[in-house]
Homo-oligomer: A and B are copies of this chain.
Amino acid sequence: MSGNSFGTLFCVTSFGESHGPAYGGVVDGCPPGLELTAADLQRELDRRKPGSSRHVTQRRESDAVEILSGVYEGRTTGTAIGFLVRNEDQRSKDYAAIAEKFRPGHADYTYWQKYGIRDPRGGGRASARETLVRVAAGAIAKKWLRERYGVVVRGYLAQLGPKRIALRDWQAVDANPFFAPDPAIVPELEAFLDDLRARGDSCGARVNAIASGVPVGWGEPVYGRLDADIASALMGINAVKGVEIGAGFAAVEQRGSEHGDEMTPAGFLSNHNGGVLGGISTGQDITVSVALKPTSSIRLPRRTIDVHGRATTVQTTGRHDPCVGIRATPIVEAMLACVLMDHALRQRAQCGDVNPPTAPLAGAAS
């Protein structure tokens, strides 16, 4: 399988470029009988949409999605679900100035050298706009997981540059343009971003996500591990440079007597493992955290080379998010949901006849 599909049984295939006619995707393997309309996808796409605040790219896209197959009379039929989002606001002229140069930190250089050809308009295939396909696919996964297993997948912005954001209020997440789980910190984030934008610079971010209600037993050990597949899905999001599950890098300094989550008949007493042991879900919350690097397209001048290998500088004046992490929360949720759904299906394929022989334990409070 080449690089534009992922998943074993719940399989997502993606196509499209930033300034081409459209993005689209195919979701294969969804069980039949799920109630599904374009509105289910649209709701999640709208969360990721550009132009929703002054802090993100001002590109104007309705991101209206059309379902082309796989749904009959409002329910999935078990066949491939194709969907399409037309691009509307492609100001390709913005990119003429950089078509012959490579932006530092951007995929311009690697696409060019790998393929010997690239679509320079808006980053072409490397544009983060591709993540709308993931979000649409994730909407299907989230819905099925919730209806079939009661699994809820939620994320939030945990850090914006140097600003750490505490998880105080899940309700706040969708009520501000940053997916910040603390309404009190929003003005501070806005001021920080206004300053950053004025300087022509960008910053990194951290996004956390939690999947609650995952039953014990999802994930295959050794190489098809749930944690390995989650890591792949999250590291594969544009700009992600680090992935943690559970305690993550804090585990380096933990002792075994602290890290190993004790169990009692009343449930687990902690969740340092982030809901995965031996590559298999424990029944606790799956907790993940990703690091997103700063946007590479910035207005500050940077040293680079052109396609002829000559020294030059580049400034990017197009419409860009000063922090790709701001809109990343729905994407992280979507990728996590797709992996979980894939493993839900894989689990019942192999172990559909197994009932957990010991009464499953409750999770620790997260």
Contact = CB atoms under 8 A, between A and B. Distances in A.
A302 B255 CA distance: 13
B222 A236 contact: yes
A279 B236 contact: yes
Interface residues of A, number: 166
Given A4-B79, A243-B243, 13 more contacts: A24-B26, A32-B354, A72-B117, A77-B115, A106-B260, A107-B277, A201-B255, A203-B256, A228-B236, A241-B248, A242-B243, A255-B294, A263-B303
Instruction: Name, among A3, A12, A353, the residue most crowded by chain B CB atoms within 10 Å (CB to CB).
Output: A3
A260 B302 contact: yes
Given A14-B223, A105-B260, A252-B205, A28 B3 contact: yes
A217 B206 CA distance: 28
A253 B124 contact: no
Contacts of A225: 3, 235-236
A252 B161 contact: yes
B33 A105 contact: no
A296 B8 contact: no
Contacts of A304: 262-264
A177 B295 CA distance: 41
A221 to B, nearest CB: 6
Top 6 closest A-B pairs, CB basis?
A: A107-B278, A105-B260, A3-B220, A3-B224, A15-B82, A202-B256
A114 B281 CA distance: 9
29 contacts: A3-B224, A3-B279, A13-B13, A22-B82, A24-B68, A29-B349, A32-B115, A32-B354, A33-B115, A75-B117, A79-B221, A104-B260, A106-B277, A107-B278, A109-B282, A110-B217, A110-B281, A113-B283, A114-B351, A148-B353, A161-B255, A204-B254, A228-B231, A241-B244, A242-B249, A256-B298, A264-B304, A273-B293, A348-B348
A61 interface: no
Contacts of A300: 256-257
A81 interface: yes
Contact of A260 (B12, B294, B309): B294
A114 B354 contact: yes
A363 interface: no
Given A31-B350, A112-B357, A295-B256, A26 B3 contact: no
